[in-house]
Amino acid sequence: MATEIRLPAPNKKQAQFLRARAKYICFGGARGGGKSWAVRVKALKLALRYPGMRIMIVRRTYPELLNNHVRPLCGMVPRSVAAYNKSERTLYFTNGSFIHFMYCAGENDLDHNQGIEYEIIFIDEATQHEEIIFTKLTACLRTTKNYPVRMYLTCNPGGVGHAWVKRLFIDRSYKPGERPEDYVFIQSLVTDNKALMRADPDYKRQLEALPPKLRRAWLEGKWDLFEGQVFEELRTEPNPSRTFTHVINGFDPPRSWRRFRSYDWGYARPFSCGWWAVDHEGRLYRILELYGCTDTPNEGVKWTTDEQFRKIAQIEREHPWLAGCAIEGVADPAIFAKDGGVSIAETAAKYGIYFGRGDNKRIPGWMQVHYRLRFDENGLPMMYVFDNCKAFLRTMPLLVYDPHTPEDVDSSGEDHVADEVRYMCMLDPISPPPPEVHRPLPHDPLEICWSSLR
């Protein structure tokens, strides 16, 4: 059957994708890299090579499936090789293999696939899906045959799945039970797609004309900035001179610098406590943190209020950067509410942990964070973060704007660190930097290295 089908030669990156043998293979990183073509060709090759192989291609909507995969694949194979069943959304091959096309707009769309086994699953545009979709689909990957069992993903930076795809394939930061050798990322840029460059030479220029964030994500395949990101000023590239970066190596702050503690309560969701040193110019240094999160993002460890403040008090007694220092506290004013019982603030006081009522105005608070993160004419910000503050480094870059309230952070995200950072910044509001200090950041900063996070 294979001799009846003629396919153009793949480009170099597509060939890497077609040859890859890891369990989870991610292909993409930029627009126009030829990802959908590679999915179709790989699915077709596998279906023809392994009789009776069960393959599924997943996209978010059926029109996307129809236009990107169903119609092109049906046009690639003659009727003597395979026939498409529209009602079942499945392409059946004469050798017993099939390719099922599933649209998945949310977790509920997976219910009718429970118990079904596939040797191969493709998730096209994986960053459009939450991690639970990826997790549940992996449970369908199994076989009783001596066939390869793999999942292929394609993606661009951005979208609701940006964080989990980045963790697995870009940062390569793994949880217990996840094996690094199972995950392979193949970077593809529009310039790798020679066929597109010949057919539409203006496409690259269209990408070059995009706003800076989208240009870096869609043209250059960068994962540090994406559309909708709130704190796009945040830079974590290492720089010994401490210019145009926010993340620095930890050091013992001088005893003459004031110490602060900012806190956001949580139970089923994470709680967050950050410790700060403030230099004589009013610059903030986030020096330590305690973040109550499980290995699952945005899932709290469910410590009681007593357990939280017992640990906070222990850290302040024992850590050399805090022991013996007077520490001023700030938190959401909601912790002072009694609600018929003992307030959170009263529980904290039992352990010698005291808080002032934080200013909880959201948009003014976010603006203060923006002002602190901006660089002056010398490339220096008004906030630094020690490199041991991993919860800050993981969650702050991923926050996006609320779709209903301009300038506000979407509170459905993992915003617990951000909230206590906001309370801290509102303790000593600073004026907006004048327009003349808004100098552009370097166009191509060093790649972020996140491998030590979490």
Q: Judge if 253 and 401 occupy the same domain.
A: yes
305: pLDDT strictly greater than 80: yes
**Cβ contacts of 340 within 8 Å, gap of 6 or more:** none
Show the domain range for 383: 247-437
Residue 40 is assigned to a structural domain of this protein = yes
Residues 50 and 131 in one domain: yes
Same domain, 188 and 263: no
DSSP one-letter code for 166: I
pLDDT at 127: 87
180 and 311 within one domain: no
Residue 58 placed within a domain: yes
Q: Are 150 and 25 in contact (CB under 8 A)?
A: yes
Same domain, 342 and 395: yes
Q: Are residues 254 and 210 in the same domain?
A: no
Does the residue 230 lie in any domain? no
Q: Render pLDDT for 55-110 as a digit per residue (tens, 0 to 9).
A: 999 998 889 999 999 999 999 999 899 999 999 999 999 999 999 999 998 888 88
Do 186 and 274 belong together in one domain? Answer: no
Q: Domain of 413: which CATH number? A: 3.30.420.280
265-288 mean pLDDT: 97
Lowest mean pLDDT: which of 96-100, 142-146, 209-213, 391-395?
A: 209-213
Cα(252)–Cα(322) distance, integer angstroms: 9
Lowest mean pLDDT among 10-14, 20-24, 276-280, 304-308: 10-14
Q: Are residues 200 and 265 in the same domain?
A: no
* Better-predicted residue by pLDDT, 368 or 161: 368
Which has the closest alpha carbon to 227: 142, 281, 158, 125? 158
What average pLDDT is seen over the chain?
87
Contact by Cβ (8 Å): 136, 108: no
Q: How confident is the model at residue 434 (pLDDT cuts 50, 70, 90)?
A: low
The one-letter amino acid at 267: Y
Q: What gap in Å lies between CA 155 and CA 194, rounded to an integer? A: 19
Total domain count, the chain: 2
Q: Are 179 and 280 in the same domain?
A: no
Is residue 239 in a domain? no
Which is nearest to 105 in space by CA: 130, 77, 74? Answer: 130
pLDDT in tens, 324-355: 999 999 999 999 998 878 999 999 999 999 99
Same domain, 154 and 82: yes
- Residue 202 in any domain: the answer is yes
Question: Which pLDDT does position 240 carry in this prediction?
Answer: 79
Residues 307 and 405 placed together within one structural domain of the fold:
yes
Task: Bin 163: left if φ > 0, else alpha if -120 < ψ < 50, else beta.
Answer: alpha
Q: In a 10 Å sphere around its CB, with 0-12 CB exposed, 13-18 middle and 19+ buried, how is residue 129 labelled?
A: buried
Helix (H) or strand (E) holding 33: none
The answer to whether residue 445 sits within a structural domain is: no
- State which amino acid sits at residue 294: T
For the domain that residue 41 is a member of, what is the CATH number? 3.40.50.300
Task: Quote the CA–CA distance of 49 and 272 in Å, as a whole number.
Answer: 52
Q: Is residue 454 part of a domain?
A: no
Query: pTM of this prediction?
Result: 0.64
Inside any domain, residue 224: no
Whether the predicted pLDDT of 443 surpasses 50? no
Work out whether the CA dihedral 169, 171, 175, 177 comes out positive or negative: positive
Could you give the 3-state DSSP secondary structure of residue 103?
strand
For residue 129, which of 99, 162, 151, 156 has the smallest C-alpha distance? 162
Coil, helix or strand at residue 355: coil
